Amino acid sequence: MERPDLERLRTLVEGDYAAALERAYGAVGMERLRLLATALEAIHDQLAYELMQDGVTVFATIDPAQRPLDAGTTISATVARLPSLVRGRATIQVLGYDDLLVSTDDYDPFALAEEAVVYRFDGADHFVVDGALHEVINPTPFPSLWGTPTFFELEDALEFYRDSIALVCDCDILAEELWHDSDRRWILRNSPEDTMQHSLWRYLRQTLRGKNRVAEVDREQPVAGLRPPDIKITWSETTRIALIEVKWIGASVNKPGDGLSTFVPDESDANDGAQQLAHYLDANFRRAPNHQTKGYLVVFDARRRNLRFDTTELSYEDAMYYLMRDILWEPDHATRHDFADPLRCFMQPLRPAA
Partner 1 sequence: MSAPTWAYDALRMCRGLEQPGGGATAAEVQIFAYLACLMWVYDGRQASDWGYTFSATPAGSPYARDLAATTDRLRARGLIVDRLAPRYRPNAATAAHSANGRSRSPEPRVLGVSPVGASELAALATLQSCSLRERYLEAATSAARLMPLPAITDAVTYEPGLRQALRRTAKTELLDTDGVTVVREQFEVVIDALRTHENQGEDLLVPTVIWVGFLAETAETDRRAA
Q: Which residues bind partner 1 (CB under 8 A)?
A: 1-2, 4-6, 8-10, 12-14, 16, 18-19, 22-23, 26-27, 30, 33-34, 37-38, 41, 44-49, 51, 83, 97, 137, 139-140, 142, 145, 147-153, 155-157, 159-160, 163-164, 198, 201-202, 205-214, 216, 234-237
DSSP state letters, 96-107: ETTEEEEESS--
Asked if 230 contacts 244 with a C-beta cutoff of 8 angstroms, the reply is: yes
Q: What SS3 state is found at 40?
A: helix
Q: What SS3 state is found at 241?
A: strand
For β-strands 240-250 and 231-235, DSSP reports them as antiparallel
3-state helix, strand, coil in the chain (%, to 5): 35, 25, 40
DSSP label at residue 310: T
Of 290 and 312, nearer to partner 1 (C-beta) is 290
Of 97 and 316, nearer to partner 1 (C-beta) is 97
Of 287 and 308, nearer to partner 1 (C-beta) is 287
Nearest to 76 by CA among 57, 61, 95: 95
Of 3 and 286, nearer to partner 1 (C-beta) is 3
Q: In whole angstroms, how close is the CB of 14 to partner 1 at the nearest point?
A: 6
Q: What SS3 state is found at 262?
A: coil
Q: In whole angstroms, how close is the CB of 333 to partner 1 at the nearest point?
A: 18
Q: In whole angstroms, how close is the CB of 212 to partner 1 at the nearest point?
A: 4
Answer positive or negative: Cα dihedral of 170, 153, 232, 202.
positive
Of 25 and 300, nearer to partner 1 (C-beta) is 25
Of 7 and 183, nearer to partner 1 (C-beta) is 7
Q: In whole angstroms, how close is the CB of 55 to partner 1 at the nearest point?
A: 17
Q: In whole angstroms, how close is the CB of 38 to partner 1 at the nearest point?
A: 5
Of 24 and 309, nearer to partner 1 (C-beta) is 24
Task: Tell me the C-alpha distance between 101 and 66, whole Å.
Answer: 12
The H or E element that residue 282 is part of is helix 267-287
Largest CA distance in the chain: 73
Q: In whole angstroms, how close is the CB of 47 to partner 1 at the nearest point?
A: 6
Q: In whole angstroms, how close is the CB of 266 to partner 1 at the nearest point?
A: 28
Q: What SS3 state is found at 179?
A: strand
